[in-house]
Amino acid sequence: MSSVRLLSSGQGLAWESLVDLVGADSACVPRVVLRDRISAVLVEEVPSPAASILKQCMLAGGADALVHREVLTCRIPASRAVVYGTPSAILRGCNSLEGQPFGLSDTGCEIRKLMKPDALADRLRVNNRNLIFTETPLVMGILNVTPDSFSDGGEFLSPEEAASKAVMMEKAGADIIDIGGESTRPGSCAVSAKEQIARVIPVIEAIRNFTDVPLSIDTCLPEVAEAAICKGAGMINCIDGMETPGMAELAVSLGVPVAVMHMKGIPETMQINPSYGDVSREVAHYLLSRVESLVNRGLSAGSILVDPGIGFGKRLEDNLSLLHSLEWIGLITGCRVLIGHSRKSFLKTITGIELPDRRDSITHVVTSLVTGADMVRVHDVTGTVAALKLALAIRRAL
């Protein structure tokens, strides 16, 4: 079996050097240098016939492999190979390696280990219920109990209305429901802890009269989080990466899972000329720093979700780049990935649909197309569940 080594999990590659390293045709450099946000694995000493098989198997999965230019002629006995592609494409290529000669089955197993770190949690425990990660993302239903959220403000102000909506979302297939008492739409102002508590606690109490569905509290304030957890929430969803003093310590002391998000600035000003040099890399490394900080305080990495913050201090091109980079964000951080793209304004920019509540259908398109999301935070649970079922059926039919 050839030895394998991970070269990149999306941080960028010195392609010219890699072409020289394996002896590949230099004519491919202009093509491969355009590829970024991918993983790359170096495989040492692959017999020439095996190198050709390796390349074909990776191509079958949607990935590729750089090999020496003379492997087809067998003028050299062996070649290094650089396998590259998105993690999911490389994994599909590994599936094609099963049963192949020259020890390629074992090589595929070693590559697979690099693409799927053992530390990646297979479940999230919320409110004494295990949420199992599978082929399709878990569904987090949005329940805003605010007068001014961008698409559903004022719809669920009474505890009875909110509880009824929560029960409906659970029946529709929501794995968890996220309750927020503060609008964080662009341009919104902060809401006090006292006001947030007055909005969310009666709702949590009302929901708990009907169902034990897992609940998440969407807040940046430790006072709100603690009150919500005491009344029946089981997770904290924090848009500022849990940087508010006391939030990280609270999560550790309560032993609850958390979602940490990237946001550039604050909601009131975040959409005023945001800019990035490399948005995917900057967001990924910010999230990694927050994960490391939480783990150092005693929180298990398996209880942390990372959220790239679609629409939070992001331009259209930033949102699209992040949606394209979810897999390697998960690899870099070692955590499952949550995305909140539902009804966001970047969908309006692309499609021209003005009213947020009319954007559910295109929200479902994004949910079905992107790879690497382990949980999706959405308004329309029924449509999301249906879209995910259809996408899974199509994938399994291929």
Active-site positions?
A: 344, 377
- 2-31 burial: b if 16+ Cβ within 10 Å, else e: bebeebbbbbebebeebbeebbbeeeeeee
Asked if 64 and 89 touch (Cβ cutoff 8 Å), the reply is: no
* 297-300 long-range contacts, CB within 8 A, separation 24+: 297/248, 297/249, 297/252, 298/252, 299/248, 299/251, 299/252, 299/258
C-beta separation of 358 from 377 below 8 A: no
Helix ranges (H only) for the chain are 15-22, 29-32, 48-61, 87-97, 104-115, 159-172, 193-208, 222-231, 247-254, 279-297, 316-324, 326-333, 345-351, 360-369, 381-397
Supply 108's token pair. Answer: 């595929």
CA atoms within 13 Å, Cβ hemisphere of 2: 26
Residue 389 backbone phi and psi in degrees, to 5: -65, -40
SS3 67: strand
CB atoms inside a 10 Å sphere around CB 181: 23
